[in-house]
Amino acid sequence: MHIVVCVKRVPALGAQVPLTDDGLAVDTRHLGFTIGPHEECAIEEAVRLVAAYGGTVTVVTVGPPDAAEQLRYALAMGADRAVLVDAAVGAGDTESDPQETADALRQGLADEPAPDLVLVGDSSADAGHGQVGIRLATALGLPAIGGIKGLDVAPAGSGGLRVRASREADGGVEVFGLDAPAVIAVKEGLNLPRYPTLPGRLKAKKAELRTVHPDPAAVRSHGLRTVGLRMPEDRRASAIPLGRGADAAPAVVDVLARLGKV
C-alpha cells in the first residue's frame, strides 16, 4: 500500500493574530511554523494504516525550502519518504491559490509510485479554502470525499482496497464506500496524532528529501486573490462597576429589578 499525505506549512498562531501593515496577510516575522491539525491527523492515519497492512507513506508539500522543517516533522511521526515541491507559484509575493497548489502537487507526485490513497487536510489552518483536495483529485482523475472523521480500509478482490469513510452530518453520520485509489480529506478528531520520539526526530533530521521544481507553464491560476484581512470585533462581555461597598447597593437593586428578581 502506498499512501500519499499532502501537508502545508502554516503559521503557529497564538491568541493574537498579527497582520501586515497593508492588511493583506498574517505577519509571520515573529511567528513559528507548524503543520495544521487536520494534516497531522492525516499523517497519523497513514502511518497506522501502513503499520496494519504494510507499505509506505510519502508526505509532500508545496512551499519554500523552509517547508523542509514540516516534512521532517512528518518523517519523525513515521512517514517513509518526503517530497518538497519548491515553488513560489503565487502571483508576486502572494500565496498560491488552490488550483496552483493542486497543479504543483500533481507535478510533485508525477515520478512517485501510483498512490492507493491520497490523504489531505479538510482545510488548511491559515487560508481555510478547503479546495486543494478536490482539485488534486480532479487533476489525478480520482474520486474524492471530504470532511472525514472515520476511516477504515480493507483488502478487496484482485488485490485492491475498499475504503469505508464517515463524516458528521445534521442529525447523524454519513457513511460512504469507495474503491481505492481515492483522495480523502480528513478532519481533526479522526485520531489522536502521536508525538515524535527522539529517535524518530534524529532519523528524520538525516533523511533525504526529494525536491521538485514544477514547470510554471503547467501551473494554472483561477484568479483567487486576497482583498484584505481584518480582526473580528471583541465581543467578550465587559464588567461595569456598580460602585463600592454600601454605595453600590441601589445600583444592585436596580439591576435585580430589571431582571425581575426582586
Phi, psi (degrees; rounded to nearest 5) at 166: -135, 155
Distance separating alpha carbons of residues 44 and 33, to the nearest angstrom: 19
Is residue 77 a contact partner of residue 201, using CB atoms and an 8 Å limit?
Answer: no
pTM value surpassing 0.75: yes
With cell 515573529, the residue in question is 30
Q: State residue 123's pLDDT score.
A: 82
Weakly modelled stretches of the chain, pLDDT under 70: 13-16, 88-96, 221-222, 234-238
Q: Is the peptide bond before 181 cis (omega within 30 degrees of 0)?
A: yes
Going from N- to C-terminal start, the domains of the chain cover 2-258
Within its chain, how far is the Cα of 6 from the centroid? 8
Q: State residue 91's pLDDT score.
A: 40
Phi, psi (degrees; rounded to nearest 5) at 99: -70, -40
Q: State residue 236's pLDDT score.
A: 65
Task: Assign domain 2-258 to its CATH superfamily.
Answer: HUPs (3.40.50.620)
Report how far apart, in Å, the C-alpha atoms of 65 and of each of 87, 119, 164, 203, 209 are: 9, 22, 36, 19, 11
Give the burial class of 7: count Cβ atoms within 10 A of its Cβ; 0-12 exposed, 13-18 middle, 19 or more buried: buried
Distance separating alpha carbons of residues 130 and 146, to the nearest angstrom: 9
